[in-house]
Amino acid sequence: MNFTEYIVSDYKVMLGKPIIKGTRITVELVLKKLSEGASTLDLIEMYPNLSENQIRACLEYASLVVSQELVLPE
């Protein structure tokens, strides 16, 4: 999967935060809901326009961002 098919960033929408293309749903919101215990099906019920692929794209995006973080030594 290529998350760029589903995730975009535009300074005119949600101050440039990464969002699911064609929505105002941020990657941050999807990750927050998942971290609180929501399932993919729960998210789709809450946001009927979401698809499983879009949710997976959020996870892929987050994985890429974290993998590129620089960890500073203590």
In this structure, is residue 28 part of a structural domain? Answer: yes
pLDDT at 7 over 90: yes
In this structure, is residue 71 part of a structural domain? Answer: no
| DSSP-derived secondary structure for 6-72 | TEE--TTSGGG--EETTSS-BHHHHHHHHHTT--HHHHHHHSTT--HHHHHHHHHHHHHHHHTPPPP
In this structure, is residue 32 part of a structural domain? Answer: yes
Overall number of domains in the chain = 1
Q: What is the pLDDT of residues 14-45, one digit of tens each?
A: 999 999 999 999 999 999 999 999 999 999 99
pTM for the model stands at: 0.88
In this structure, is residue 19 part of a structural domain? Answer: yes
In this structure, is residue 60 part of a structural domain? Answer: yes
pLDDT at 69 over 90: no
Q: What is the pLDDT of residues 49-67, one digit of tens each?
A: 999 999 999 999 999 999 9
